[in-house]
Amino acid sequence: MNAANQEDNSRLHRVQEMLDSGTMHKVSGLLNALQPGEIAHLLESLPLAEREIMWGLVKEKDGEVLVHLADDVLDDLVSKMDAADIAAAAENLDPDDLADLIQELPATVTNEVLASLDAQSRHRLETVLSYPEDTAGGLMNVDTVTIRPEVTLDTVLRYMRQLGDRVPASTDALIVVNRDDSYLGMLPLARLVTGERSDTVAEVMSVDFVPIPVSKPDTEVAARFERHDLVSAPVIDDDGRLLGRITIDDVVDVIREEGEHQFMGQAGLSEDEDMFAPVFTSARRRAIWLGVNLVTAILASWVIGQFQATIEKLVALAVLMPIVANMGGIAGTQTMTLAIRGIALKQLSLKNLRWLLRKEFAVGFLNSLLWAAMVGIIATIWFNDTSIGWLIAAAMTINLLFAAVSGALIPMILDKFNIDPALAGGVFLTTVTDIVGFLAFLGLATVFLI
Amino acid sequence: MNAANQEDNSRLHRVQEMLDSGTMHKVSGLLNALQPGEIAHLLESLPLAEREIMWGLVKEKDGEVLVHLADDVLDDLVSKMDAADIAAAAENLDPDDLADLIQELPATVTNEVLASLDAQSRHRLETVLSYPEDTAGGLMNVDTVTIRPEVTLDTVLRYMRQLGDRVPASTDALIVVNRDDSYLGMLPLARLVTGERSDTVAEVMSVDFVPIPVSKPDTEVAARFERHDLVSAPVIDDDGRLLGRITIDDVVDVIREEGEHQFMGQAGLSEDEDMFAPVFTSARRRAIWLGVNLVTAILASWVIGQFQATIEKLVALAVLMPIVANMGGIAGTQTMTLAIRGIALKQLSLKNLRWLLRKEFAVGFLNSLLWAAMVGIIATIWFNDTSIGWLIAAAMTINLLFAAVSGALIPMILDKFNIDPALAGGVFLTTVTDIVGFLAFLGLATVFLI
C-alpha cells in the first residue's frame, strides 16, 4: 500500500484484528469515535460475515451510516433488519437522506417508517419523494431558512437567535422570498454578519445567482455547483416558487458516482457493486456481461471461419491475426474514452464531433503508419516473407482507421438512442475492431497471397 | 443528445453559430453573462481555432477562467499569451488558485507574475507553492479569518463588521486559535448568529473536528470531506499551528479528477487530455500506449507461433482460439475493476484481499461452468466434433480461473510497487489472459487431439 492508503487501511486492519480476536467492546469503542461516513466506509470494506457482526455493534448513528452506504451494501444490511429497527434507524434523518434511504427499502418497511414520522416530517418527506431520485427535487432538502427582503439585518439576526438550534447545520446562506414564496435572492451568512445592521435584506442580498429548477437532472446540478463553486443552491418550481435547497455534500456524492459509473460501466459493473457481494449474486450479474461479450467473440470467430482454407495454406496468418484485431481495439478505445467523457461533460456536440472525427482519423493515420511499418518489419523477419509484412501492415492501417472513426461515432450514436455509452460502448467497439481486423487481414491474404 | 445534455449543448451550439457567422459582439455579450467556470467549459468544448478566437474575446474574467481549465487546454492557451497578459490575468486570484495556475506556467512568466504581486500576496503564494500540488498544503487557502477563544460573540460580530468585504466569500466558519496560532476549534457562522451575544467563543465553538495535516494527500482530504460532509476544513502543520483552510470547491475538483483518472487511465490517457489537442501531440502520446500494447500482442502471437504444427493439422483451433482469450480478458477486467476501485477507496487491504480472491475465484468458477458448457456445445455443433467441444470448454475454464486470480492480484501488486493500477493494470491483465488462453487451448489440443 502506498502512503495515501495508510490511514484508512490501518483502521480497517485494526477492526479486522478486533473482530478476529472477538474483542467486541474494543470495536464498539472505536465505532463511537467515528463519523457515520467512516463507519459506512469500514462496513463496505468488510466481507459479509464480519460486516454483519460489526453492523450489530453500530448503535445510535445507524440511520446516518445507512445513508452513507453504497446501495448494494445497504440492501445487504437492511435485508437482515426487521421493520422496527429500520424505522428506528430512519428517525431524525434529513428528509433528503431519508428519501434516498426509503427508495431502497421494501414497501412494507416504507409504510412503517412513514407511520413513525410526525406530520411535518412526513409532509416534507413526501415532497422530496414526489420527485425522481436523479433530479434536483430528489437531491434537495426542504428545511430552509427563509427571510423577507424588506426586513433589516438587525431583525434577521434577532430572528436567527430565536431559531437557535433549529437552524440546519449546513446553513451558509438564508433564502430571500416574497409573500407568496417566490425566490428573490440569497443572503450569505458572511454578508449578514459583515453588513450594516440598519441595511435591509434587499440592499445586501445577492441576486446574480440563478436558482435551480426542480426537474434539473442531478448531473447538471453537479456541473452547476462545480462551475459556480457553490456550497448550497435554492430549488424552485416552474412558477419560481421556492421548494428547498441543495447542499454540496449531496452533490459530492453525485460527482463521485458519475466517475465510478464511467469506470465500472466499462466492465459491465454497476457503481453500487459491492466488492463482497454474495458469490451467486455476483456470478449471476457477471454471467450476463460475459454472455453479451461471448456473442461478439463468436461473431469474430465466425469471420475467421470463413477463411479456414486460407489459414490452412498459410498458418502464419493464424499467428499474426490477433495482433491486428487487438491493436484496433486499443486504438479505438482511446478515441471512444475521449468521446464518452466529452458526452458526459456535455462538451461533445454534433458540430464539434466532425472536428473530433477528423482529428482522431488523422491521429489514427499517423499511428497506423508508425506501427504498421513496425509490425510489417517484425512479421517479415519472423516469417522471413516480405509479402506477409506488407499484408499485416495494410490490414493494421485499415483497422486503426476504422477504430478511430467507430471510436468517435459509436458513443454518439448510442447516446442518441439513450443507450449508456459507458456501459455498451466497449462491446460494440470491439465487435467492429475484431471483425474489421480479421476481415482485412485474412481477406487481403486470400486475395493477394493465396 | 438526451435531455441531460440540452442546456450545455444548446449554448455550445449557439456559440459555434456565432463564431461561424463572425458576429463577435454577440459572443462577447454571451461571455459577459457567463461564470468563469462556464466559459472554461465552453473553451474546452471548442476546436483549437475557434477556441483561440473565443479566448481573445474573454476580458476581465480571464484569470478565473484559466483556473477552471483542464491543464492541457490551459497550456494551449497560455502558450499563445505573452507574459504581461498572463501576469495581468493572474492578478486578484486566490493564492491557492494562483498556485495551481503558476505551476502550469513557463518559469519566465512565473517570475513576472510573482513580481506583479504585492508583498502580502507574494508571501501567501510562496507559502502555498512550498507544498506539493497534490497535498492539503497545495489545496489550502491562506486567507483565513481567525479569532481568539476568550472573546464574546458580540466582539466577534463587531470584528466581522469591521472586516466587511475583506472576509473571503466562501467563509462558512471562523477558525479559533490561541496566541501562538495553534488550532483550537471552529466557530461556524450559523452558531455565531444563533448563539447568545454574551457567550464566549470557547463556549460555543465546535472542537469535535480534527484539523487536516498539511502533508495529507489530496485524495485523502477529499475522502475526509466526503465522510464528514465538510464545507471547509482548517489545515495545520506538524506542531498543530494553523496554516490555512481548504474549501469544498477545490475538493470537488480533486474528486472529479480521481474519477476521470481511473476512467481515462484504462485507455492510457491522462485526465487532462484535451479532446481537441493538436494531431501531432495526440499521435505522439497515443503511440506510446499502442507500442506498449503491441508488445503484449506480439507475446501472445509468439505463444500461438509455438503451435503452428498443431494449427496446421486442425484449423478449427485458429477459428476458436480468440474466444478463449477474449472471454478471459472480459472476466478478468471485471474483477480488476472492482479491485482498482477498492484500492482507490482504500477499502482493499491484504487481509480482505484473501476474501476477494476466494469470492472472485468462486464467481469465475461458476461462470466458467456455465459458459464453458455453452461454448463447448456451440463448438461441437459448429465443427461437428465433440473433442473440440471438450477442449475449448476445458481451456475456457482454466482461463476464467486465471483471470479471476490475476484480476484481483495484479492491481494490488502494481499498487505495492507504486505503479498506478488504473493505468497499467489492463496491459498486464490482457497479457496474462491472452497467453494463458492460447496456451491452454492450443496446448491441450497438442496433447490430446493431435
Which of A260, A326, A392, A441 is the mutation pick for testing B, counting most B CBs within 10 A?
A: A326
CA distance A208 to B222: 29
The mean pLDDT value of chain A amounts to: 89
Least Cα distance to A151 among A207, A210, A197 occurs for A197
> Grid cell 475449448 — which residue?
B392
Environment class of B230 (CB within 10 Å of its CB; exposed 0-12, middle 13-18, buried 19+)? buried
- The confidence score (pLDDT) of residue B171 equals 84
Contact of B35 with chain A, judged by CB distance below 8 Å, is answered with yes
A417 CB near a chain B CB, below 8 Å?
no
User: Measured between CB atoms, which of A9, A327, A351 is closest to B13?
Assistant: A351
Q: Is the dihedral of CA A193, A194, A200, A204 positive or negative?
A: negative
Our measurement of the distance from residue B391's CA atom to the centroid of its chain's CA atoms, rounded to an integer in Å, reads 43
Distance CA B205, CA B199 (A): 10
Q: Which of B253, B311, B375 sits opposite A315 (nearest CB)?
A: B311
- Cα of A108 to nearest chain B Cα, Å: 30
Of A3, A347, A371, which has the smallest distance from its Cβ to B41's Cβ?
A347
pLDDT, tens digit, 9 for 90 and up, residues A193-203 = 998 889 999 99
> Cβ separation of A273 and B338 shorter than 8 Å?
yes
The per-residue pLDDT for range B296-336, each reduced to its tens digit, is 999 999 999 999 999 999 999 999 999 999 999 999 999 99
Binning pLDDT at 50, 70 and 90, where does residue A4 land?
Answer: very low
CA distance B9 to chain A (A): 6
Q: What are phi and psi of B404, to 5 degrees?
A: -60, -50
Angle between helices A421-444 and A386-416 (to 10 degrees): 150
Exposure string of A262-300, with b = 16+ CB inside 10 Å and e = fewer, is: bbbbbbbbebbbbbbbebeebbebbeebbeebbebbbeb
Q: How far off is chain B from A120, nearest CA to CA, in Å? A: 23
Average the pLDDT over B92-110 and give the result. Answer: 77
Q: What is the 3-state secondary structure (H, E, C) of B50-85?
A: HHHHHHHHCCCCHHHHHHHCCHHHHHHHHCCCCHHH
Q: How far is A215 from chain B (nearest CA, A)?
A: 11
Strand partners, B438: none
Beta strands in B207-247 (DSSP E): 212-213, 232-236, 242-247
Q: Do A1 and B40 touch (CB under 8 A)?
A: no
Give the length of chain A: 450
Q: Is residue A169 within a helix (H) or strand (E), and if so which, with residue range?
A: none
Report for A276-290, B246-260, B315-329: range of highest mean pLDDT: B315-329
Q: How many CB atoms lie within 10 A of CB B354?
A: 12
For residue range B115-147, list pLDDT tens digits in order: 877 787 788 788 888 898 889 998 888 878 899
Name the residue facing B319 among A165, A301, A378 (closest C-beta). A301
- Which B residues 62-91 touch A at CB under 8 Å? 68
Q: Which amino acid is at B40?
A: A
Q: Angle, nearest 10°, between helix axes B48-57 and B71-78?
A: 70
Name the pTM for this structure: 0.89
pLDDT value at position A151? 95
How many CB pairs below 8 A link A and B? 415
Name residues 149-208 of chain B within 8 A of A (Cβ). 157, 160-161, 163-165, 167-172, 188-190, 192-196
Task: Name the more confident of A303 and A226.
Answer: A303
The pLDDT mean for chain B works out to 89
- Judged by CB atoms closer than 8 Å, whether chains meet at A256 and B260 is answered as no
Burial classification of residue A84, based on how many CB atoms lie within 10 Å of its CB (0-12 exposed, 13-18 middle, 19 or more buried): exposed
User: Over 50: is that where the pLDDT of A10 sits?
Assistant: yes
CA distance A303 to A126: 56
Q: Which of B153, B167, B313, B315 to mutate to test the interface with A (most CBs of A within 10 A)?
A: B315
Query: From start to end of B17-151, where are the E strands?
Result: 146-147
Nearest to B45 among A37, A251, A352 (CB): A352
Is 70 exceeded by the pLDDT of residue B13? yes
Concatenate the DSSP letters of all residues of B175-192 into one string. EEE-TT-BEEEEEEHHHH
Note whether B136 contacts A: Cβ–Cβ < 8 A: no
Residues of chain A with C-beta less than 8 angstroms from the C-beta of B169: 188, 190
User: In A, which residues are within 8 Å of B263 by CB distance?
Assistant: 259, 262-263, 266, 337, 340-341
In this structure, the number of other CB atoms found within 10 A of the CB of residue A99 comes to: 25
Contacts of A46 in chain B (CB under 8 A): 352
- At residue A67, φ and ψ (nearest 5 deg) are -60, -35
Q: How far is A254 from chain B (nearest CA, A)?
A: 10
Answer yes or no: do A276 and B342 touch at CB < 8 A: no
| Alpha-carbon distance values, B446 to B165, B317, B399 (Å) | 81, 10, 17
Nearest CA of chain A to the CA of B108: how many Å?
30
Query: What one-letter code names the amino acid at A446?
Result: T
Nearest CA in chain A to B159: A194
Look at the alpha carbons of B309, B310, B313, B318 in this order and tell me if their dihedral is positive or negative.
Answer: negative
- The reported pLDDT for the residue numbered B350 is 82
Residue A223's CB is within 10 A of a number of other CB atoms, namely 26
Do B324 and B437 contact (CB within 8 A), yes or no? yes
Identify all chain B residues contacting A167, using CB atoms and an 8 Å cutoff. Answer: 190, 194
CATH 1.10.357.20 fits A279-448, yes or no: yes
Please give the angle made by the CA atoms of A46, A48 and A50, to the nearest 5 degrees. Answer: 60
Grid cell listed for B177 = 486559535
Whether pLDDT at B209 is above 90: no
Partner residues linked to B177 by β-bridges: B183
pLDDT tens track for B20-34: 888 888 888 888 888
For residues B373-381, average pLDDT: 96
What kind of fold does domain A146-265 have according to CATH? Answer: CBS-domain (3.10.580)
Q: How confident is the model at residue A70 (pLDDT cuts 50, 70, 90)?
A: confident
Quick one: closest CA in A to B68, which residue? Answer: A227
Contact assessment for residue A160 and residue A130, using Cβ atoms and an 8 Å cutoff: no
Chain B residues inside the 8 Å CB shell of A378: 298
Taking CB atoms and an 8 Å limit, are A47 and B293 in contact across chains?
no
Separation of alpha carbons A57 and A78, rounded Å: 15
Is the pLDDT at B433 greater than 90, yes or no? yes
Report the Cα–Cα distance between both ends of chain B, in Å, rounded. 55
pLDDT tens per residue across span A355-399? 999 999 999 999 999 999 999 999 999 999 999 999 999 999 999
Helix (H, G, I), strand (E, B) or coil at A298: helix
Min CA distance, A127 vs chain B (Å)? 23
Q: What residues of B are in contact with residue A219 (Cβ under 8 Å)?
A: 4
Average pLDDT over residues A290-305: 95
Based on the number of CB atoms within 10 Å of its own CB, is A384 exposed (0-12), middle (13-18) or buried (19 or more)? exposed
∠B21-B27-B28 over CA atoms, to 5°? 140
The amino acid occupying position A105 is L
ipTM for this prediction: 0.88
pLDDT digits (tens, 9 = 90+) for B48-59: 888 998 998 887
Read off the C-alpha cell for B12: 455550445
What percentage of chain A reaches a pLDDT higher than 70?
98
Write the CB contacts of B387 (distance below 8 Å, at least 6 apart in sequence). Answer: B448, B449
β-pairing verdict for B146-147 and B173-177: parallel
pLDDT recorded at residue A286: 92
Per-residue confidence at A154, pLDDT binned at 50, 70, 90?
very high
Q: Who wins on pLDDT, B357 or A110?
A: B357
CA distance B272 to B69: 9
Cell of B104: 502550469
Contact call for B331 and A40, based on CB within 8 A: no
Tens of pLDDT along A177-196?
Answer: 999 899 999 999 999 999 88
Contact between A142 and A95 under an 8 Å Cβ cutoff? The reply is yes
Q: Do B276 and A163 touch (CB under 8 A)?
A: no
> Does the structure show a pLDDT above 60 at A3?
no
**Nearest alpha-carbon partner for B197 in A161, A401, A3, A244:** A161
How far is Cα B265 from Cα B259, in angstroms, rounded to an integer? 10
Q: Which residue of B has its CA nearest to A216?
A: B4
In this structure, what C-alpha cell is assigned to residue B133?
A: 500540488
Query: Using CB atoms within 10 A of its CB, is residue A154 exposed (0-12), middle (13-18) or buried (19+)?
Result: middle
- Domain positions in chain A are 3-139, 146-265, 279-448
Please determine, for residue A2, whether its predicted confidence score (pLDDT) is greater than 50.
Answer: no
Find, among A406, A285, A296, the residue nearest to B337 by Cα. A285
Angle between helices B316-344 and B350-383 (to 10 degrees): 160
On whether the CB atoms of residues B147 and B187 are closer than 8 A, the answer is yes
Nearest Cα residue to A249 out of B234, B187, B254, B228 = B228
Q: What is the pLDDT of residues B140-164, one digit of tens each?
A: 888 788 999 999 999 999 999 998 8
Chain B: residue whose CA lies nearest to A334: B267
Give the one of B164, B289, B378 whose C-beta lies nearest to A330's C-beta.
Answer: B289
Backbone angles phi, psi at B142, to 5 degrees: -100, 0
Whether B381 and chain A come into contact, CB under 8 Å, resolves to no
Q: Is the pLDDT of residue A223 over 80?
A: yes
Say yes or no to pLDDT of A1 above 60. no
| pLDDT exceeds cutoff 60 at A435 | yes
B276-292: per-residue pLDDT in tens? 899 999 999 999 999 99
Q: Report yes or no: A168 and A152 within 8 Å, Cβ to Cβ.
A: no
Retrieve residue B269's grid coordinates: 490517457
Q: Which set of grid coordinates corresponds to residue A366?
A: 499517423
- Among B442, B432, B325, residue whose Cα is nearest residue A325: B325
The x, y and z cell numbers of residue A160, run together, are: 436567527
Say if the Cβ atoms of B16 and A351 lie within 8 Å: yes
Closest Cβ opposite residue B267 in set A298, A333, A351: A333
Q: Looking at beta carbons, which residues of chain A come within 8 Å of B227?
A: 35-38, 40-41, 68
Query: A336 vs A61, which has greater pLDDT?
Result: A336
Q: Does residue B3 carry a pLDDT above 60?
A: no
Predicted confidence at residue A6, as pLDDT, reads 54
Tell me the residue length of chain B: 450
pLDDT of residue B360: 95
Three cell numbers, residue B118: 504585492
Nearest to B269 by CA among B59, B128, B420, B117: B420
Give the one of B231, B304, B434 whose C-beta lies nearest to A319's C-beta.
B304
Contact A242, A236 (CB under 8 A): yes
DSSP letter assigned to residue A135: B
CATH superfamily of B3-139: MgtE N-terminal domain-like (1.25.60.10)
Distance CA A315, CA A449 (A): 12
Model pLDDT, residue A8: 66
Q: If pLDDT is split at 50, 70 and 90, which confidence band does B6 have?
A: low
Q: Is B256 on the interface with A (CB under 8 A)?
A: yes
